[in-house]
Amino acid sequence: MTSAVPKLAWKGVTKQFEGRKVLDQLDLSVAPGRSLVIIGGSGQGKSVTIKTALGLLRPEAGTIELDGKNVVGLSETQRRKLFSRVGVLFQGAALFDSLPIWENVAFRLINADGVPRRQARERAIEALEQVRLSADVANRFPSELSGGMQKRAGLARAVVAQPEILFFDEPTTGLDPITAAAINQLISDQVRRLGSTAVSITHDLASAQTIGDEIAMLHGGKIIWRGPASDLATTDNPYVRQFVEGRAEGPISQTH
């Protein structure tokens, strides 16, 4: 029986900076409609993994495949076409300070997809309501919103075009535990509503277990463990155990 083609796959991907391999022949794949969370220590290449998939960084070796087609080295036009299938929630929400919230959410609809402003505004308000922000938020500016509300607006922007693939970069960084839990649930709800494939990176283990179907640990430029989110607390992998328990001593401290 032939296995299904992954929605997204890194195959033998190597990326280095100043001679240091941040990704070392990385092999990782995500099935259509699944949510994968990548965990790992600082400087282990989690953000680099996402940036290579987005075409923001080009690997020295390997391929990155979307629906079985290599996307490394695409032209700018091809990369923009790829982006039309992707939504991203950046670590700091990354909203434009000078634009009202609705226009932030609708930015791609207006500037890349050519959607008329009136229609784009309606779709933006619908997306805001999906993340539990009322329509009266639409005309406010980012500086008028709390950190949690800004993160929700960023999530609305990520999902407004109903993308096939969603990337989440440290979605709960800087949020209090209650707000973080709310954002985690919203992300999980939106991924399931859209049926999208999702790849997230986080240090937040509660977040990882809420939004991920599977969790993979990146260390030394390679995936050293992968399993169902429910197995994170019970695996005997020494690297995962040290990371989950937050211990200073262990294999990570010996090689970090």
pLDDT for 2-37, tens place per residue? 458 999 999 999 999 988 999 999 999 999 999 999
C-alpha dist (Å) from residue 256 to 20, 227, 239, 248: 13, 23, 11, 11
Total domains, the chain = 1
Average pLDDT over every residue of 188-215: 92
Confidence (pTM): 0.90
pLDDT tens digit sequence for 56-115: 899 999 999 999 999 998 888 888 787 788 999 887 778 899 999 999 999 989 988 889
- Domain with 55, as residue range(s), is 1-33+40-85+197-256
Contact between residue 163 and residue 85 where contact means Cβ atoms under 8 Å apart:
yes
Encode 123-134: b = buried (16+ Cβ within 10 Å), e = exposed: bbbebbebbebe
Token digits of residue 204: 């937040």
* 128: in domain: no
What is the spatial distance between Cα 19 and Cα 69, in angstroms, rounded to a whole number? Answer: 29
* 23: in domain: yes
pLDDT tens digit sequence for 127-167: 999 999 999 999 999 999 998 899 999 999 999 999 999 99
User: Given this model, what pLDDT does residue 41 score?
Assistant: 86
What is the spatial distance between Cα 187 and Cα 254, in angstroms, rounded to a whole number? Answer: 35
* 211: in domain: yes
Contact between residue 41 and residue 244 where contact means Cβ atoms under 8 Å apart:
no
* 222: in domain: yes
Tell me the CATH number at 67: 3.40.50.300
| Measured CA angle at 204 (ends 243, 82), to 5 deg | 110
User: Given this model, what pLDDT does residue 158 score?
Assistant: 93
C-alpha dist (Å) from residue 225 to 103, 233, 243: 41, 13, 12
* 254: in domain: yes
Average pLDDT over every residue of 192-212: 92
* 168: in domain: no
User: Given this model, what pLDDT does residue 254 score?
Assistant: 57
* 256: in domain: yes
* 67: in domain: yes
User: Given this model, what pLDDT does residue 2 score?
Assistant: 43
C-alpha dist (Å) from residue 21 to 28, 44, 61, 190, 254: 17, 10, 11, 35, 18
User: Given this model, what pLDDT does residue 139 score?
Assistant: 95
Average pLDDT over every residue of 165-186: 89
